[in-house]
Structure 1
Amino acid sequence: MPKGLPFSVDTWTPCSNRKRHHFLTHAHKDHSQGISTHASFPIYATRLTKTLTLNYYPNLNESLFVDIEIGQSIAIDDPVETFTVTAFDANHCPGAVMFLFEGTFGNILHTGDCRLTPECLQRLPEKYLGKTSREPKCRLDYVFLDCTFGSFSSKMPSKHVGIRQVIDCIWKHPDARVVYLTCDLLGQEEILVSVCQTFGSKVFVDKENNPESFQSLSLIVPDILSQDPSSRFHIFDGFPRLPERAEAKLAEARANFQPEPLIIRPSAQWYVFEDVSSEAEKRKNGQFKEAMKDQFGIWHVCYSIHSSKDELEWALKLLAPRWVVSTTPECRAMELSYVKRHCSYNNLAPDDPLWKLLDIDVEAPFITEDVQEVSISSSPFVPERSSGARSESSQSFVSNEEVSIVSSPGKKPSVTLFGRARLGLSNSTVVYEDLVKPETAYRNEDIEVWSNNEVGLDGNVSEGERDESKSKEVTYSASGLPKGVGENIRKLYRGMHVPVPKPLPSLVDLLNDIKRSKKKFMS
């Protein structure tokens, strides 16, 4: 990550406390995790984001916040350097913004969570927007990009189309006395407003069992709320165990000889990550045209507050940034064709200011053709993806499973800037395929540097260890080093005080040992 910048975004850790300015893009809890423990003045956020966050964390001091609204620019007089930050609508949820930082460090756009539609992008400064055949007048040095659905290639319907499908699904089920809407997530208020306006009925929210949703809706759209449980429309908590609870609601209605309730889930998760039925697979081409029912009786509508892959590709073509980093797990930015083509170290001149922003010493030995590539296994939370083609440059973001990790040798770990992302690695932990077990995975900031002349974090290795590494041939192990792994990885292991495991004996060796034992016994 860029080092030495005076601000952090959506990061609340002991390291982020070293920053002098803090920014919160929106009020979803995955972006404010740790804020009650590690928050420090000032925190820049919209007034709505501040209010929602204070509701979630009542012990947080309101005086920590500094208001910044959509379209507003603030000149921040930092002791080291003055820079400007501007907030833009992120098209994600109420109060959500993107932050554009401009200063001597360069121009950095942090999208937070977003859906980059044409309308959303057009609100950015014109100088940063190019055209199909022309680059923008001023290029962004960095885009920290929401790639939540960056691996989903299908074109998603707009929010308006998704809302229309929810309305149509309700019209097609006039006998349903109760309609359960799994719209308890911040960012789905437009659906509830449209339902209330269309059918002239308010929405019941169980204040006791779903207090956070009730508080959020009371702040954003209080006129649509009802405290009468006999209302036709109910907010239904989407997590956890939605299928089990949906089946229970349907079974209860059948047992009481009542019409089955209608359960609608407006979300893109089912289409992107979850298993769909064979019937849905057969209708794949038309899966976004209307609501679809799954085997549990839940009707799904694709309603996304994140960009799909084609929207991200289109946005990057217009913005033409010099570097892209995913703010979501599993390096999903590397799956984008723009990143594969343009975000390569080979594209940078030795005197390029981006080296300083990256905190990389261009005279270090890693700027060669033999940069070590490390294979990264898929996270258990993310579905497996087909491996992408290897890039021409070994120093590029080479595929969706491989990345060259490089930094200046012999330096201490850098302070993280935006969460755990570092050169495209955004998980707080990384699992090295066939190298380390998941329970012993290392933090990204711990795996700082290595080169042909360096070892682990401190760059120290004894001559005895060098001789040992030359004489020991590593083949494979269930939790050890795979066959053919380079000297750099073995040095990295020793630098982290992790012993190199002995190779498992081959099947031939085991059979020979058995034969020798039998011969010895017979003799």
Structure 2
Amino acid sequence: MSTFGGVVLEFPDVRVDYFRHIPGRRPPLACFLSHIHSDHLTGLDTLKSPFIYCSATTERLLLRLERYPHRLNFALGKLESRKLHYKHLKNLLKPLPLDIRIPIELEPGNNIHVTLIDANHCVGAVMFLIEGSGKAILYTGDIRSEPWFVNGLTRHPVMLPYSSGLKRLDCVYLDTSHTEPVEFPTKAEGLKELLQKVSQYPPDTVFHFSAWTFGYELVWIALSTYLESRIHVDDYKWRLYQSMKGDSGVRFHTPEGPALTGYLCGNTPQDGCLTRSTKVRIHSCEKGMQCEAITDKTVWIRPIVTRTELGAEIAEIGVGGGGGDLAKRPELEFDNDAVIDKLLDQ
């Protein structure tokens, strides 16, 4: 769960990952969205200004997000059309490329430079290096700071002046979901254990991997490659991940894109690991969509984040995972922030 309140003290005219009105502060001149996990989208429902800067992948996914009841009812034929929850933001979202120092004018005479850097989290997730008026901060968002990632960050061409001591960051805004000492395995270690476990089953076993939020893309790629099977996803997930292709259908906005949804080799289309066909060994379709291939013999794979010293498994229940972007959960919807502010003041 995000613990960041949106305010960057060094740059009070910008807001990051929190979009509700904050009493005592004037409205921001620019907003930044690090990724699309739901705990970082607070207030986006009713935001009408200013521009929101993010990665191209985040923009494309955000504009296609649907709440669970709406997408389920559409899939079951109870709704005639899709209800895209954030489509009203189309003209506010401003996608930026990664790894480039980009100038942004907040207002005449008030300029900053922003660099988007991959956060090693989910597709489209980025950090923000913000510089201006002799100050500099790094907003990490939900990074997964594995050793290889940190080492690469020190060599990043835009970060190199800071990692070498030539420049100094005034502040680093960190994700503080876990402030207590908890040992997490690396992605590689987790994937190795998963592949070892699935290899113990007969070759005709059908698996279902519970990808309840964004961030399991590398798991899909690893499972598909190892078991030599594509992965069935529901129509909603298929539409989301297909959107990572550029308008031409060739250019991708994220490095995982070709492996997930396919690519062109010369003039020959090549499939990615995701498919809408149910005639495969691996499924990651949403519960409730009545997939014909799921039976009582299906082996369900449910992600965990780590184990305690005594070996007890700690399930992925939302910390850094987005609060269930792709899962069923009850929600209250409000028409405006004034109602929300009144509830928060109680």
Specify if TM > 0.5. Answer: yes
Match of 1:88 among 88, 94, 117: 117
Larger Rg: 1
2:276 and 2:343 map into 1 onto residues whose CA distance is: 50
1:28 aligns with 2:28: no
Q: CA offset at residue 46 of structure 1?
A: 1.1
1:5 matched to 2:12? The reply is yes
Q: Is 2:211 the partner of 1:183?
A: yes
Query: Which residue identity is paired with 1:127?
Result: P
Correspondences of 1:199-210 after superposition (within 5 Å)? 199-207=227-235
- Residue number among 98, 107, 113 corresponding to 1:70 in the alignment: 98
Deviations, residues 317-353 of structure 1 (Å, cap 9, x unaligned): xxxxxxxxxxxxxxxxxxxxxxxxxxxxxxxxxxxxx
Instruction: For residue 47 of structure 1, report the CA deviation from its aligned partner.
Output: 0.9
- Where do residues 310-389 of structure 1 align in structure 2 (5 Å cutoff)? none
Please tell me the residue identity of whatever aligns with 1:38.
Answer: L
The yes-or-no answer on 1:14 pairing with 2:48 is: no
Q: Are the aligned partners of 1:204 and 1:228 in contact in 2 as well (CA < 8 Å)?
A: yes
- Percent identity of the aligned residues? 25
Q: How far has the Cα of 1:116 moved from its partner?
A: 1.8
Aligned residues of 1:203 and 1:235 also touching (Cα < 8 A) = yes
Task: Tell me how far 1:18 sits from its aligned partner.
Answer: 1.2
**Conservation of the 8 A alpha-carbon contact between 1:93 and 1:305:** no
- What per-residue deviation string (whole Å, max 9, x for no partner) do you get for residues 9-45 of structure 1? 1121134881111111112222123223114232111
| Larger RCO of the pair (alpha carbons < 8 Å, separation 6+) | 2
**Residue 160 (structure 2) pairs with residue 126 (structure 1):** yes
The answer (yes or no) to whether the contact 1:11–1:31 under 8 Å persists in 2 is yes
Report how far residue 187 of structure 1 moved. Answer: 1.3
Change (3 A) 1:179 1:4: closer
Structure 2: which 5+ runs fail to align?
1-6, 66-84, 244-256, 262-271, 322-339
**Could you list the per-position Cα deviations for residues 197-224 of structure 1 after superposition, in whole angstroms to 9, with x for gaps in the alignment?**
12221111233xxx2x333333342222
Equivalent residue of 1:50, what SS? Answer: helix
Query: How many matched pairs?
Result: 266
Name the CA shift for 1:42/1:178 in 2 (closer, same or farther; >3 Å).
same
Alpha-carbon distance in 1 for matches of 2:287, 2:141: 23
SS at match of 1:111: strand
Distance 1:90 1:14 in 2: 27
What are structure 1's unaligned runs of at least 5 residues?
A: 131-135, 240-248, 254-259, 273-279, 295-299, 308-427, 430-438, 444-523
Q: Normalized against structure 2, the TM-score is what?
A: 0.66
Check 1:281–1:116 CA distance in 2 against 1; reply closer, same or farther (3 A cut): closer
What is the aligned partner in structure 2 of residue 195 from structure 1?
223
Distance 2:309 2:99 in 1: 43
Q: Give the Cα–Cα distance (whole angstroms) in 2 for the partners of residues 81 and 158 of structure 1.
A: 41
Aligned partner of residue 60 in structure 1, secondary structure: helix
Q: Calculate the TM-score normalised by the size of structure 1.
A: 0.45
1:217 aligns with 2:249: no
Q: Does the CA contact (< 8 Å) of 1:25 and 1:97 recur in 2? A: yes
Confirm or deny: 8 A CA contact 1:91 1:305 kept in the other structure.
no
Contact 1:196 1:224 survives alignment (8 Å): yes
Look up the match of 1:145.
Answer: 174
Q: Which has the higher strand share?
A: 2
> Matched residue of 1:180: which SS?
strand
Looking at structure 1, the residues matched to 49 and 242 of structure 2 have their Cα atoms a distance apart, in angstroms, of: 28
Write the distance in 1 (CA, Å) between the matches of 2:345 and 2:319.
Answer: 32
Q: Does 1:107 align with 2:136?
A: yes
Among candidates 242, 263, 273, match of residue 300 of structure 2: 263
Q: Distance in 1 between matches of 2:59 and 2:115?
A: 17
SS class of match (1:63): coil
User: Measured at CA, do residues 172 and 138 of structure 1 come closer, stay the same or move farther in structure 2, by a change above 3 Å?
Assistant: same
Distance apart, 1:174 and its partner CA: 1.7
